[in-house]
Amino acid sequence: QAVPAIILLIGLFWFPYSPRWLASKDSWDEALLVLAFLRTASCNINNPLVLAEYKEIEGQLRLEGNEESNWLHELLSRKMRKRVFLVIIIHVCQFISGIPLIVITLLYIITTLMSIPSVGWIDQWGRSLLVRAILFGFLQFLIGGLFRQYGLTLSQTSHSPWKIDDHPAVTRTIQAGYYLNLMI
């Protein structure tokens, strides 16, 4: 689990700064360049979507600059005091009641209980039968998905209820799936 986190930590040195952070530090030109780099393939600063997001960031920062608000002051304000207290009490009560312990250990209990029948089935039926059953099920889902995506329902009087037009690769894939199912 630590390997992806370490890779991300090393990669952070090459990430561009956030356009909103750059704009808050009065680096508006660099914010526009980073926004164009993130939103367009050609880094076009005249793209309407880039300019719209740039104006949105500019308006939001202007609005926040006029308010002169502090998050800690807002969190501890009179109107929020009851809400914050209620959240803290609920969290403490949940922790004391043991719900997190049950949720964490429930995963291990279910894993252990479900491994007992699966070990018995593997010993009784054999691995080759189980592998073939899994492969058969996968092929059935593949064929069904292809019919759902590309198939056309015909009228009830027609000989074949499904038809696939203009997709020869899909037709061949379905045929191969049926042949593989027969061989399993």
- Model pTM score: 0.40
What is the pLDDT, as a whole number, of residue 155?
Answer: 66
Give helix 99-125 / helix 127-150 axis angle, nearest 10°: 110
Give the per-residue SS3 of the chain.
CHHHHHHHHHHHHHCCCCHHHHHHCCCHHHHHHHHHHHHCCCCCCCCHHHHHHHHHHHHHHHHHHHHCCCHHHHHCCHHHHHHHHHHHHHHHHHHHHCHHHHHHHHHHHHHHHHHHHHHHHHHHHCHHHHHHHHHHHHHHHHHHHHHHHHCEECCCCCCCCEECCCCHHHHHHHHHHHHHHHHC
What is the pLDDT, as a whole number, of residue 142?
Answer: 92
Indicate whether 121 and 143 sit together in one domain: no
Q: Which two three-digit tokens encode residue 29?
A: 């030109």
Q: How many domains does the chain have?
A: 3
Residue with tokens 């356009």: 19
What is the pLDDT, as a whole number, of residue 6?
Answer: 92
Last residue of a domain, one of 78, 98, 125: 125
Residues 18 and 37: beta-carbon distance below 8 Å? no
What is the pLDDT, as a whole number, of residue 67?
Answer: 66
Give helix 168-183 / helix 127-150 axis angle, nearest 10°: 160
What is the pLDDT, as a whole number, of residue 29?
Answer: 93
The pLDDT tens digits of the residues spanning 70-86 come to: 778 888 888 888 999 99
Indicate whether 61 and 84 sit together in one domain: no
Question: Which domain range does residue 19 map to?
Answer: 2-68
Indicate whether 59 and 82 sit together in one domain: no
Last residue of a domain, one of 68, 84, 105: 68
Indicate whether 95 and 64 sit together in one domain: no
What is the pLDDT, as a whole number, of residue 161?
Answer: 67
pLDDT by 10s per residue, the chain, length 184: 789 899 989 988 888 889 999 998 889 999 999 999 988 888 899 999 999 999 999 999 888 776 666 778 888 888 888 999 999 999 898 888 888 788 888 888 888 888 888 887 777 778 788 888 899 999 999 998 998 888 877 665 566 667 777 888 988 998 898 888 888 7
Indicate whether 45 and 93 sit together in one domain: no
